[in-house]
Structure 1
Amino acid sequence: MRTGTPRHTRRTLGVAAVATLLGGALGSAAAPGAANATVQPVATPIPLTSVPSDGSTGIRTEVPVSVTAQSGEKLAAVTLAAPDGNAVPGSLNPEGTVWTADGHLRTHTKYTLTAIGVASDGSQVTRTSSFTTFSPSTDSQLKFQTTEPQNGDLVGVGMPILVQFTHPVTDRAAVEKALVVRTDPPQPGHWSWLSDARLDWRPENYWQPGTKVRVSLNLDGVPAGAGQYGGSDTSFAFNVGRKQLSLVDLSKHEMTVYDNDKVLRSMPVTGGKPGNDTWGGTMAVIDKAASVHMQSRTVGFGDAYDIPNVQWAIHLTYSGTYIHAAPWSVGSQGYANVSHGCVGLSTDRAAWLFQNTLPGDLVQVVNSPKTVAPGNGYGDWQENWNQWLSGSAVKA
């Protein structure tokens, strides 16, 4: 799925050669005796490799930017900056003669490239150049459709970081490299593609309670392949709360809620009847709502039911699995599985669980004949660490 970096013919121009083309600006700075004098920086164009000349516009964001010095000259410092002051990171080679930008450029941005060159006699010259990147058409912009959690959220230890794009991504590696997660305290984790348009990040193990997480999605300008470019950046932060897991045993028709491995409460439940079995496996809560209108047609069950006010609904899968109040099945709770796939509780028990549940809390369903897919909601924990890493385009 990766696409290679376009190759460009490199044109190298030494500091002395540039000075000659500019009427000997460096020649005057490097005249006899100048090495012992105070040298005033001279603002003139700098030598660029694989970047159009000073004042150019419509530059593609994947064009490599570099500065080269020749004939014994060195580069003392190079800065490539946008108008807001944000600098594109770069690095010098060990000889100090070539600087190369390491980060991608943003779209529709004017960049100023400033380099300080040191001649063999110790004299310095400052040279500047500027160029403006292109503005991709609306149709070619890759944008975020959904990101989760929301800024400021408090979540459970099973919450993944979800990024859903507006279009399928061709160059997954380029996009993945632009998305950064920082945790306090540090925890190992990685991105994994759950579809061609969805990318999740999760730690190797469940989050440590109390972790602070900062996510920077630096998509603007990223060449995403197939003629698409990232259209915007976004960032958000969230906090991880306590560890809570609800274990649903379909054979015992029972749910046991644990707080950091300590039993809080056990409750009778009903699960999906044979043929409509509740999804098995480890999931994380997507969201919750005090009332949900549940219609069987939306989940492929025809006219089986239409209930306008299902209370205390905790959302588990995109395919329509909830834990919710089911007063109509109280007689079966603890004895039989009679639902269309949801986990039903009495109204008072469902209200208690609802009040004590965070998005990202863990729910594990055992003794089911079917297993939830990782991308059906937050089923990321269905995969072991090696399986999770295999879904990445950038290997750990």
Structure 2
Amino acid sequence: MALASRRRPTPLRAFASVLLAGALALTATACTSGGDKGGGPSFQGGSEAGDQPKATAAITAPAADAKDVPASTEISFNSKDAVETTVVVKNAAGAAVKGTLSAAGTWLPDNALEYGTTYSATVTATGDDGKPATVTSNFTTMAKPGKQIRVTSFLGDGQTVGVGMPLIVKFNQPIPKDFRDDVQRRMTVRATPAQEGIWHWVSPTEVRYRPKTYWKANTKIFYKIQAGGLPMGGGWYGRSDLTVDLKVGPAVVMTVDNKNKKMTVKKDGKVIKTIPISLGKKSTPSSSGTMVVIEKLKKTVFDTMDDPNPANRYVTDIEYAQRLTWGGEFIHAAPWSVASQGRTNVSHGCVNMSTANASWLFNQTRVGDPIVVKGTERKLENGNGWTDWNMSWGDYVKGSAIPPEAASPEATTVPSTEPTATTAG
């Protein structure tokens, strides 16, 4: 929206637990009768004693007439004794820029600002006396930088994924630790229905998001990375913003028990099939842990001729393969081991089942559906696949660039036109 507004005393309560920069601050400030031309905050409190409005407003950043401002800049402001505060940002042609108020008490453009352009920001605070206090400040954005970082998402618009699917965002240059919190604050996830979740830095070039528990079936997810023009360290800036709109399918969860050599398949909490399986033999055990389906291949070829152990070398046509780890563990059809399925382990680490069962399962699942394997000789190594669910929630939170103590079960946010809660961090 071009004109952002906040009112009190009825703030919108976010129903997701989030990691945010801070609560909305309505800070008392000193007032002067005009803008500060020395580059500091601009204040407004009225010009005549008898006509002074009760409310006051101040723009604290960017500084008045600032130059070389990043295109990602927020408008920081304070207001006192205001029933309603509005923010309007316009470009040099006088056109309003769309933006929203954040929970931290700043105005954030919906998209990166234009490079090398002068903008005006106007904050109006109105008290219960109905008299507005208005302050306007100008600033000019920097020239387009030569060093830009590209931001990409593994998932795209319109996809339907499993309930264990992490949101995966990558950068083509490493983000220094000191800048990851700034980047993370520009990464928002809106889930309908709202669910608690957090971003976790897997590496300097990759960050993922997962909810505290599996996504609820049929959840709608929108996430936005407002990286355009954002400083990312070492003179690098974000190249552009990124948005993704997708949904979650039914809750299909697979559980494999090495003790009885069976897979139990549940859909939306109900058992829909029990499948006899064969896991990895002692020399090539399957991994125990929580994995998700990474990719699905109706037909493929397993070629292990580069294995240093001659006993593990083979080339085999495979049907209905569903990858679980980067190390080569799959669910797949294995007609050659049907006699062992449900009885003994004979595979090279994969979850073997009959062709009929593999075909049936292949038609039930989506990328991102979780599978829990129990009771094998080897534990799943974190990082060997999308192992986000193999970590406890406490350990996952530690991967956030925003301190865990900043989390709040019910974070106060400013009023928004959005119908659902927004989570960040």
Relative to 1, partners in 2 of residues 1:132 and 1:245: Cα closer, same or farther, differing over 3 Å? same
SS of the residue corresponding to residue 327 of structure 2 reads coil
Q: TM-score, normalised by structure 1?
A: 0.73
Asked whether the equivalents of residues 61 and 75 of structure 2 are also in contact (C-alpha less than 8 Å), the reply is yes
Establish whether residue 181 from structure 1 lines up as the match of residue 193 from structure 2.
no
Asked whether the equivalents of residues 264 and 275 of structure 2 are also in contact (C-alpha less than 8 Å), the reply is yes
Q: Please state how far the C-alpha of 1:79 moved relative to its aligned partner.
A: 2.8
Establish whether residue 378 from structure 1 lines up as the match of residue 386 from structure 2.
yes
5 Å-filtered alignment, 1:139-288, equals: 140-148=147-155, 150-170=156-176, 171-288=179-296
Q: Please state how far the C-alpha of 1:104 moved relative to its aligned partner.
A: 10
Asked whether the equivalents of residues 59 and 123 of structure 2 are also in contact (C-alpha less than 8 Å), the reply is no
Q: Distance in 2 between matches of 1:52 and 1:298?
A: 64
Relative to 1, partners in 2 of residues 1:208 and 1:345: Cα closer, same or farther, differing over 3 Å? same
Relative to 1, partners in 2 of residues 1:206 and 1:66: Cα closer, same or farther, differing over 3 Å? closer
Asked whether the equivalents of residues 14 and 68 of structure 1 are also in contact (C-alpha less than 8 Å), the reply is no
Structure whose CA Rg is larger: 1
Asked whether the equivalents of residues 36 and 64 of structure 2 are also in contact (C-alpha less than 8 Å), the reply is no
Asked whether the equivalents of residues 246 and 255 of structure 1 are also in contact (C-alpha less than 8 Å), the reply is yes
Relative to 1, partners in 2 of residues 1:300 and 1:252: Cα closer, same or farther, differing over 3 Å? farther
SS of the residue corresponding to residue 271 of structure 2 reads strand
Q: Please state how far the C-alpha of 1:352 moved relative to its aligned partner.
A: 0.6
Relative to 1, partners in 2 of residues 1:218 and 1:66: Cα closer, same or farther, differing over 3 Å? closer
Q: Please state how far the C-alpha of 1:271 moved relative to its aligned partner.
A: 1.5
Which residue identity does 2:331 align to in structure 1?
Answer: I
Which residue identity does 1:87 align to in structure 2?
Answer: G
Q: Please state how far the C-alpha of 1:280 moved relative to its aligned partner.
A: 1.2
1:87 matched to which residue of 2? 99
Asked whether the equivalents of residues 271 and 277 of structure 1 are also in contact (C-alpha less than 8 Å), the reply is yes
Q: Distance in 2 between matches of 1:198 and 1:298?
A: 29
Which residue identity does 2:213 align to in structure 1?
Answer: N
- CA-based RMSD of the aligned residues comes to 3.9
Establish whether residue 115 from structure 1 lines up as the match of residue 125 from structure 2.
no
The 10-residue stretch of structure 1 (270-279 or 100-109) with the greater mean CA deviation from structure 2: 100-109
- How many pairs align? 347
Identity %: 30
Relative to 1, partners in 2 of residues 1:113 and 1:238: Cα closer, same or farther, differing over 3 Å? same
> Which consecutive residues of structure 1, in runs of 5 or more, have no partner in the other structure?
1-12, 20-29, 36-45, 70-75, 94-99
Q: Deviations over 1:14-44 (max 9, x none)?
A: 765779xxxxxxxxxx89xxx8xxxxxxxxx
Relative to 1, partners in 2 of residues 1:146 and 1:263: Cα closer, same or farther, differing over 3 Å? same
Identify the match of residue 313 of structure 2 among 287, 304, 308: 304
Q: Please state how far the C-alpha of 1:225 moved relative to its aligned partner.
A: 2.3
Relative to 1, partners in 2 of residues 1:263 and 1:183: Cα closer, same or farther, differing over 3 Å? same
Q: Deviations over 1:343-365 (max 9, x none)?
A: 11121111011011122222111
Q: Distance in 2 between matches of 1:388 and 1:372?
A: 16
Relative to 1, partners in 2 of residues 1:102 and 1:294: Cα closer, same or farther, differing over 3 Å? same
Q: Please state how far the C-alpha of 1:304 moved relative to its aligned partner.
A: 0.7
Which residue identity does 2:313 align to in structure 1?
Answer: A
Q: Deviations over 1:231-250 (max 9, x none)?
A: 11111122222222111122
2:354 matched to which residue of 1? 346
5 Å-filtered alignment, 1:59-78, equals: 59-61=69-71, 78=87
Q: Deviations over 1:327-355 (max 9, x none)?
A: 23333322322222211112111101101
Q: Distance in 2 between matches of 1:152 and 1:63?
A: 30
Q: Deviations over 1:265-284 (max 9, x none)?
A: 12222222223221211112
Which residue identity does 2:158 align to in structure 1?
Answer: G
SS of the residue corresponding to residue 263 of structure 2 reads strand
1:335 matched to which residue of 2? 343
Asked whether the equivalents of residues 160 and 380 of structure 1 are also in contact (C-alpha less than 8 Å), the reply is yes
Which residue identity does 2:261 align to in structure 1?
Answer: H
Asked whether the equivalents of residues 61 and 223 of structure 1 are also in contact (C-alpha less than 8 Å), the reply is no
Establish whether residue 325 from structure 1 lines up as the match of residue 333 from structure 2.
yes
Q: Distance in 2 between matches of 1:375 and 1:383?
A: 10
Asked whether the equivalents of residues 190 and 221 of structure 2 are also in contact (C-alpha less than 8 Å), the reply is yes
Q: Distance in 1 between matches of 2:306 and 2:112?
A: 41
2:20 matched to which residue of 1? none
1:24 matched to which residue of 2? none
Which residue identity does 1:227 align to in structure 2?
Answer: G
Q: TM-score, normalised by structure 2?
A: 0.69
Q: Distance in 2 between matches of 1:51 and 1:17?
A: 11
Q: Deviations over 1:71-95 (max 9, x none)?
A: xxxxx865334668223747999xx
Which residue identity does 1:156 align to in structure 2?
Answer: G
Asked whether the equivalents of residues 105 and 222 of structure 1 are also in contact (C-alpha less than 8 Å), the reply is no
SS of the residue corresponding to residue 328 of structure 1 reads helix
Relative to 1, partners in 2 of residues 1:65 and 1:363: Cα closer, same or farther, differing over 3 Å? closer
Asked whether the equivalents of residues 74 and 109 of structure 2 are also in contact (C-alpha less than 8 Å), the reply is no
Q: Distance in 2 between matches of 1:47 and 1:206?
A: 42
1:23 matched to which residue of 2? none
Q: Please state how far the C-alpha of 1:261 moved relative to its aligned partner.
A: 3.3
Q: Distance in 1 between matches of 2:397 and 2:60?
A: 39
Asked whether the equivalents of residues 89 and 96 of structure 2 are also in contact (C-alpha less than 8 Å), the reply is no
User: Which protein has greater RCO, CA pairs closer than 8 Å, 6+ apart?
Assistant: 2
